[in-house]
Structure 1
Amino acid sequence: MPSKLLNILHCVLLTLPTTLASYAFYVGKNLTETGAVLLGGTGEEVSSHWLQIFPAADHSPNSTITVGVTEDATLPGNLINITQVPHTFRYMSMEYSDYEGFPAPLTNGGVNEKGVAVRDIWASNRDELYYMTPDPQTGLQYSDLARIVMERASTAREGVEIIGQLIAEYGYATYGGNSHLIADKDEGWVVWEFAGGAKLWAAERLGPNEVRVSYPGYIEEFPVDFEDSTDYMGSPNIVSFAVDQGWWSRNGTKPFNIFEIYGVQGDEYTARNGGFKYMSQAQLENETLAMVPVTEKDLMQRVRDYRISDDEAGYGQVVSLHAETQPDLIRIWNAPTGSVTAPFNPWWLGVQSIPPEYGQHRYLTKDAASTFLDPDFQLQEATKFAGRVFKRLLYYTCADPESYLPGITTLLEGFEGQSLNDISWVEESAKTLMQNGQDENARNLLTFYAHDRAAKALQLGEAKVGELDIYIKVTGGWRSPNGTQINDAGLGAETVNCLVGLDPDQPGGMALRNRR
């Protein structure tokens, strides 16, 4: 790409008050092979990611939690304390360590013991809302909302109601707008929260015959009398605020369209068909619909899609939400970093611990370069870190993706196939133990199997990294860096996606390779 054009594009991207991060897939229960609702996706942050189980807990009457953003956020804010509920549910999530001005640990979501799963997804707003945001702002931010839904919600609908109540009472703190996709065994909900300090939000129900991809999250036509509908929810001012700002008229002919009114403005932006990254939501939705009846394996393939799972993808996640599932048997698949070069491992809420290799490490953790290790973490830090192992595999794959990626994909799918074949006997055995009053033995079985597969996945990753390390060096494929700056400023601080050819330093680097 000519340097002048690259500089122009770089400047344009830097001026956008958006963060292009995270995506989610929802598949309704009538479109899946087992009748379970499927939810999948990832988070996209320059940060360390680790898997963590949070036990159910009781809290004293005076307990509070700290929420919000700090003065270091893009839109500065003040932290506040809000009341904690008397009891919070058990949940599992991928945690991460840094997003500017958003205190760690953070989460994009996970699944709780009631079978409520949450995904957090970026959803930028029109510029006016960004610049209306008070300085300092106060309220709950995206991670606070995702975590509280997992702690408190018994259904997806209740999760939406909790978000609305919290925003109404405490406000919403943001980097420029955000959304959540919440699901249970029956339905899903897209919740879009808006910048501007006016406590604006809107939500749309997703039914059993729908597929939705949030990339970013979106809502289109929305009834102005939504209070009378069971399929929509929103803040009381979601319509009146748009009228007051002159963004929509009750006397006009245009329908009340949330994306067109509150979303990013410009002819190049549409809710489903472009203006954002490599793949449109419509393309991803159509490719998912083509898989009906969708299986867990199918959704792993969609989440793994190299056009969207790249160096920015901190992990991969797929959750199955079945009717009448015992809490301990709620199943969640996690890849420890971008699933394009990392396997999905099965976990259950009944698993009693996470192996140290999949826990928190200093790699990409905030302040790791400016502080020494806390001795409390010395044994965990001494272990290998699964996220780092599979990140190395991604970087070796990037040396020649045309040659290496197909084989690695086949390898990962074969490994996951073994796990998928085992799921039935593992879960049936655990159910039998529970039916005979041996709940603890059932949890021990689930823990043993999950740990065993996680260990074998790590062995697989290390073996493949070692193989590529030797092969690339012996065959003359090694190349040393030409520059001295290891951190990429890139296009608007976005990383290079070597798998689709977005590399401004290579000839024709902006061309999109249409490999399938």
Structure 2
Amino acid sequence: PGYIGAIAADFANDPNVMAPPHLVSFAVAQGWYVPDGTGLFDVNKVYGDGNGRSAGVRLIEDELTRLAATRKLTLEDIIWAVRHPQLTGDTAGYGQIVPLAPQPYPELRCLWHTQSGSVAAPFVPVFLGCSNLPPEFKQHRYLTHDESRRFVDGRKGAANQSQVPQTVEATRSAFRAVKRLLYWVLEHHEELLGEITAVFQSHEARLIAEHNDIVATAATLLHANQPELARRYLTYYSQTELLNGLRLVETLTEYAETRSRLRHGLRETVGSQEPGQVW
């Protein structure tokens, strides 16, 4: 529910509300909501944190509302919102955007994805028709629950054996790679943030420009009753671009680290340098 506020408790015929029919009745049955005669149901108060629209939500919604008053919002606008440095810091998870435009085949839907915070990674389209991911983007031991006490081999017993395949762990962790760049960008955000963001925007502009052609090619294969070829094509494309994005992140990390060490040295005190977080 997030920041969704008060809606009509009887919303069945409200075209502006999409919700399960038991949204209110379930809350009543659980004792979370007692009708008060106003006819309103505060979704955030009942199902959320009760804080309503946060400062981060207000920041993004106000800007997108301003843009939407003059033109249709674009994918680039949503990328801007998800990547906003006052929202996306170390506590952010993956950056993900799902366009809801209709597609003739489910395989053609895609998730624009960044591995960890999008301040430090380019968005890449991963199609539902994609059947596999590069091992660099699969689960690694870093941040996996209980892996700090486990070992890859089984000498300490099954309970202490890593749940991550050895050859996957042997590859680079895309998540960890993005985190490295994130920390450099946040540390010297006044100097690096705009420059790094511009590089990602240029990279994403190419992906966005070719997106319709990729979809049309896969759709042609699906229409020709060649679903396996379509899935192989989409898998190859998404895997290739995920790895291209990872290489870009690693190149920028080398640049950011070299620049930062030469200009500022290495700060070794606890605490983060970052734009003011409002999320």
- Shorter-chain TM-score above 0.5: yes
* Matching residue of 1:105: none
User: Structure 1: which 5+ runs fail to align?
Assistant: 1-178, 180-215, 489-495, 503-511
1:350 aligns with one of 99, 124, 129 = 129
Instruction: Say whether the 8 Å CA contact 2:6–2:43 is kept in structure 1.
Output: yes
Residue aligning to 1:290:
66
SS at structure 1 position matched to 2:237:
helix
CA contact (8 A) 1:345 1:450 kept: yes
**Identity among equivalent pairs (%):** 28
Q: 1:404 to 1:436 in 2, by over 3 A?
A: same
Contact kept? 1:242, 1:261, Cα under 8 Å: no
2:256 corresponds to which residue? 468
- The structural deviation recorded for 1:412 is 0.7
In structure 1, what is the Cα distance between the partners aligned to 2:128 and 2:33? 46
Which structure 2 residues correspond to residues 86-485 of structure 1 after superposition, within 5 A? 179=1, 216-223=2-9, 225-226=10-11, 231=17, 233=21, 234-236=23-25, 238=27, 241=31, 249-250=36-37, 254-258=38-42, 262=46, 269=51, 271-272=52-53, 276=54, 278-279=55-56, 281-292=57-68, 293-373=72-152, 374=162, 377-481=165-269
TM value normalised by structure 2: 0.83
| Structure 2 residue matching 1:291: 3-state secondary structure | helix
Deviation track 1:229-250 (CA, whole Å, cap 9, x = no partner) reads: 6745324264584676xxx533
Moved more, 366-375 or 297-306: 366-375
TM-fit CA distance, 1:460: 0.6
Aligned match of 2:159: none
Q: Larger % of strand: which?
A: 1
In angstroms, what is the RMSD of aligned CA positions?
2.6
Q: CA deviation at 1:448?
A: 1.2
CA distance in 2, matches of 1:288, 1:371: 46
SS at match of 2:97: strand
Cα distance in 2 for partners of 1:385, 1:459 equals 12
Please give the per-residue CA displacement for 1:238-293, whole angstroms capped at 9, x wherever unaligned. Answer: 4584676xxx533xxx452415863656xxx4x33xxx4x42x3332221223331
1:227/1:409 Cα in 2 relative to 1: closer, same or farther (>3 Å)?
A: closer
1:442, 1:409 → 2: CA distance?
Answer: 32
Q: Residue type of the partner of 1:326?
A: Y
1:21-60 to structure 2, matched below 5 A, reads: none
- Compute the displacement of 1:219 (Å): 3.0
> How far did residue 463 of structure 1 move?
0.7
Distance 1:468 1:227 in 2: 53
Question: Any idea what SS the aligned residue of 2:96 has?
Answer: strand
- 1:474 Cα deviation (Å)? 2.4
- 1:359 Cα deviation (Å)? 0.4
* Distance of aligned partners of 1:237 and 1:411 in 2 relative to their CA distance in 1, 3 Å threshold: closer
**Cα distance between partner residues in 1 of 2:94 and 2:130:** 19
**How far 1:362 sits from its partner (Å)?**
0.9
The amino acid that maps onto 1:249 is D
C-alpha spacing 1:349/1:221, structure 2 compared with 1 (3 Å) = closer
Letter of the 1:500 partner, please give it: P
Structure with greater helix percent: 2
Q: Distance in 2 between matches of 1:221 and 1:259?
A: 7
Distance 1:375 1:282, change over 3 A: closer
Q: Structure 2: any 5+ residue segments left out of the alignment?
A: 153-161
SS in 1 for 2:180: helix
Kindly state the Cα deviation for residue 433 of structure 1 after the two structures are TM-superposed. Answer: 1.9
| Cα separation, 2, equivalents of 1:328 and 1:362 | 30
Tell which has more relative contact order, 1 or 2 (C-alpha 8 A, sep 6+): 2
The one-character-per-residue Cα deviations of 1:392-418 (angstroms, maximum 9, x if unpaired) are: 001011221000000010011111111
